[in-house]
Amino acid sequence: MTAAIQAQPDERVGKKSLTDRLVVRPEIGALLGAVLVFVFFSVVTGQFLSPLGVATWLDDSSTLGIMAVVVALLMVGGEFDLSAGVMTASTSLVTAILATQAGWNVWLALGVSLAFALGVGAFNGWLVMKTGLPSFIVTLGSFLALQGLNLGVTRLVTSTVQVSGMRSTSGYESAGALFASTFDVGGTEFQSSIIWWIVVTAVAAVLLMRTRFGNWIFAVGGSQVSARSVGVPVVRTKILLFMGTALGAWLVGSINILRFASVQANQGIGLEFQYIIAAVIGGCLLTGGFGSAVGAAIGALIFGMARQGIVFAQWNSDWFMLFLGIMLLAAVLVNNAFRRRAERVRR
């Protein structure tokens, strides 16, 4: 009797095979999708794999990727931030207006726009936690409010809809060197936003997988009630996550304003859904409690490769969005198949 039980090893402490261990990672589906998209465009187009081509699609993926990663953390925490897209323009505008209209040093202007971003992020988080309303609704409100602020304030201060002239402000060169420089790899210029993207992804991945705060994120996203009852500071965690997306938006806004030296009042609108899509391709669930930072970065890479690859392939641009939509759906479907497989492995 006891011998029979001894002979049956407990499946909870058993060794899983390598494929099974890989398959339960949320980012594995996205990785496969990325390889597929990469191989496809490398074969179909001539210039996709050229150094300049690689620089182009990495550049396109990078600012999307920074946001996808911070949005992924928030989604793992069980919330949405629809104001993230327009926030990238708001922070640019604050920086640009202070630097060009008020004549401030760029670094000081960047500091104020950072404070502004963190303030809005904290307000979003506080309102969501205070009211118990879905963050989808609350941040939709702040999205529209920011959109109005962007246009209203810009027209009020400059009586036009673009703020430009960053190149002649004090401190532009030093700030630009940090946020919007290029680095040379084998004679091709790459944007430094690519490095920022890698840094943000690495920091977010370590935060999510290797720290206590990361566990709190999974906990509040999985079940708020359970998290609270085991002593996780739910309110603080969620407010910090909203501040995190705002911080990411400030970083992207700063990269954009220093690189393009001008900002339009209508920028950033609609990007929030691209961030969410990239995070979902990367294995995040819309219901929260599951996802990965690296996956979201790969999701953004798929998005960027597809967006520029379609151009390299010289397909008729009338159908651009259709191609993009089909590609994203395919990526999500591949992902979904993997997740089902993963759930079977867990059981």
Partner 1 sequence: MFSMKKLAGVAAIAAAGLVLSACSGPSADNSSSSASGSSSAAAPSTGGPLKIAVVTHGTSGDAFWNVVKNGAEQAGKDLNVGVDYFADGDPGNQARLIDNAVAQKVGGLVVSMANPQALQTSIQNAVKAGIPVVTINSGEDSSAAFGAIAHVGQSEGLAGQGAGQRLKAAGKTKLLCVIHEAGNIGQNQRCDGAKQTFGTVSTLQVDISNPTDAQARIRGALQSDPSIDAVLALNSQVAARAVDAAKEASSKAQVATFDLNADVVAAIKAGTILFAVDQQQYEQGYLPIVFLKLYKENGNTIGGGKPVQTGPGFVDKSNIDTVAPYAQRGTR
Residues that bind partner 1 (CB under 8 A): 46-47, 50, 52-53, 55-56, 59-60, 63, 151, 159-162, 164-168, 172-174, 176-178, 180-184, 189, 192, 195, 198-199, 202-203, 206-207, 210-213, 256, 258-262, 264-267, 308, 311-312, 314, 317-318, 320-321
Phi then psi dihedrals of residue 319, to 5 deg: -100, 10
Q: Quick one: 253 or 283, whose CB is closer to partner 1?
A: 253
Task: Give the residue from 272, 277, 276 showing the smallest Cα distance to 325.
Answer: 277
Collapsing DSSP to helix, strand or coil, 223 comes out as coil
Q: How far is the CB of 163 from partner 1 (least distance, A)?
A: 10
Q: How far apart are CA 23 and CA 221, in angstroms?
A: 22
Q: Quick one: 90 or 335, whose CB is closer to partner 1?
A: 90
CA angle 201, 206, 207 (to 5 degrees): 95
Q: How far is the CB of 238 from partner 1 (least distance, A)?
A: 14
Q: Quick one: 130 or 167, whose CB is closer to partner 1?
A: 167
Q: Quick one: 116 or 197, whose CB is closer to partner 1?
A: 197
DSSP letter at 263 equals E
Phi then psi dihedrals of residue 191, to 5 deg: -75, 140
- Residue entry with tokens 């962007």: 150
Q: How far is the CB of 208 from partner 1 (least distance, A)?
A: 11
Question: Contact 312/53 with Cβ under 8 angstroms?
Answer: yes
Q: How far is the CB of 266 from partner 1 (least distance, A)?
A: 4
Exposed / middle / buried, residue 63 (Cβ in 10 Å: 0-12, 13-18, 19+): buried
Question: Contact 77/217 with Cβ under 8 angstroms?
Answer: yes
Q: How far is the CB of 49 from partner 1 (least distance, A)?
A: 10
Q: Quick one: 56 or 124, whose CB is closer to partner 1?
A: 56
Q: Quick one: 269 or 285, whose CB is closer to partner 1?
A: 269
Q: How far is the CB of 95 from partner 1 (least distance, A)?
A: 14
Q: How far apart are CA 60 and CA 261, in angstroms?
A: 18
The one-letter code for the residue type at 203 is V
Q: Quick one: 245 or 335, whose CB is closer to partner 1?
A: 245
Q: How far is the CB of 265 from partner 1 (least distance, A)?
A: 5
CB within 8 A of 287, min separation 6: which ones?
A: 78
What value does the CA radius of gyration of the chain take, rounded to a whole number of Å?
A: 22
